[in-house]
Structure 1
Amino acid sequence: MLIGYARTSTLEQEAGLEAQVRDLTALGCERVFQEQVSSVGERVALEAAISFTRSGDTLVVTKLDRLARSVVHMGEIVERLKAKGVALRIEAMNIDTSTPTGALMLNVMASVAQFEREMMLERQREGIAKAKAAGAYKGRKPTARVRADEVRSLASEGLSMGQIASRLGIGKGSVHRILSDTPTSNGASSATHGG
């Protein structure tokens, strides 16, 4: 049985997802699992698709980047499918892991994709280093620290750390750090330190 998996990121058009579903159905997929989730997000439909597969089935995707976020992730998926006796087919690359050539090609393509990603990250790090050296790199703006006064004000109103975090849209840990740094009346930090 052919089982399809379609994914677009949360930023992409709904039409892209519909096109994948249409293509997978045209390829003969009897069941298509689909989701809109970022490349790093939790993939519930992918997990459901893998769970649904049985020995002799083939999981079909239109493109490699729809399936895996990295070479390591793809390797994990392929191993899980192989353990179940399930093949993987990537239509755009004409790769089918049920054949030895297809399995080899998938490994080669994945390695090249990982290499490209590492090169891109290296260029990005070099660019940041140059910008820092030139004094042009500011880094990520601290979001929680600039709201310290609001955090303290809400805490004085009796709100819990969770309530403050959700109201201000910051992490609970950030709220805790701000409140731990708040000086007490005797001038010492309110954070407790073991001695």
Structure 2
Amino acid sequence: MKIGYARVSTTGQDYETQLAKLNVEGCEKVFSEKQSGKSADNRLELQKAVEFAREGDVLVITKLDRLARSMGDLWAIVRELEAKGVAFKVLDQSGMDTSSATGKLLFNILGSIAEFERDLINARTAEGRQAAKAKGVKFGRKEKLNAEQVEALKADFEAGVLSKEAIAQKYGIARNSVYRLASDYKAA
């Protein structure tokens, strides 16, 4: 049986092209997910595909980087498949067959390129974050309360008339945020 696996990294992407290629290849069962390829640990559909595969089956993917972005993960997955007697096929890289010496060489070269690409993406992302920070861009969740609202909340807290729960409801924030702001107030 041919088992397909398709993956994209973000919700903005779609794997329709991958699914079409897997269907043309004749995959009877296809597992797909939207998940980062950084690590194989958090990809439940990949784990299900490997668990589902039986001796004599073939796990089919469209490109090697859809399976993993690190050589460690690639080899761990392929070794697990080999231990089960499951073949591994990459559609867009013809000749990718880990049962031959040439196929193993190709596997290592392409896997190294995928890992290199991942490192480049991380470096560019870090550079972009640093440049944005230098321009004053703030990262993270937007503050729910503006400065005036925080001052009013602190005044309510200092007055001691309202409970922490009532203050939280008044400003539409969580109770633990009231405690955090109160501790900021006491420290000031």
Question: Which TM class, normalised by the smaller chain length?
Answer: 0.5 to 0.7
Name the SS of the counterpart of 1:140 in structure 2. Answer: coil
- Which protein, 1 or 2, shows the higher relative CO under an 8 Å CA cutoff with sep ≥ 6? 2
Aligned to 1:136: 135
Structure 2 vs 1, CA of residues 65 and 138 (structure 1 numbering), >3 Å: closer, same or farther? same
> Contact 1:33/1:45 (CA < 8 Å) preserved in 2?
no
RMSD of aligned Cα (Å): 3.8
Match of 1:24 among 22, 29, 32: 22
Identity in percent: 33
Give, in whole Å, the separation in 2 of the partners of 1:129 and 1:10. 25
Structure 1, unpaired ranges of 5+: 160-166, 190-195
Give, in whole Å, the separation in 2 of the partners of 1:126 and 1:10. 23
Q: Deviations 1:114-135 (Å, cap 9, x if unpaired)? A: 1232234334434544565xx4
What TM-score comes out, normalization by structure 2 length?
0.66
Name the SS of the counterpart of 2:6 in structure 1. Answer: strand
Aligned-pair distance for 1:25? 2.9
State the aligned residue count.
169
Give, in whole Å, the separation in 2 of the partners of 1:111 and 1:86. 23
Give, in whole Å, the separation in 1 of the partners of 2:121 and 2:106. 23
Q: Deviations 1:54-102 (Å, cap 9, x if unpaired)? A: 1232200111232224433323322221222222111101112232221
- Alignment of 1:37 with 2:34, yes or no, is yes
Structure 2, unpaired ranges of 5+: none
Q: How does 1:87-126 map to 2 (within 5 A)?
A: 87-94=87-94, 95-126=96-127
Name the SS of the counterpart of 2:92 in structure 1. Answer: helix
Name the SS of the counterpart of 1:50 in structure 2. Answer: helix
Aligned to 1:82: 82
Name the SS of the counterpart of 1:3 in structure 2. Answer: strand
Aligned-pair distance for 1:34? 3.0
> Contact 1:39/1:69 (CA < 8 Å) preserved in 2?
no
Residue type at the aligned position of 2:180 = D
Name the SS of the counterpart of 1:92 in structure 2. Answer: coil
Give, in whole Å, the separation in 1 of the partners of 2:57 and 2:105. 20
Give, in whole Å, the separation in 1 of the partners of 2:163 and 2:46. 41
Q: Deviations 1:13-48 (Å, cap 9, x if unpaired)? A: 4xx42x43332232232x222324132594332222
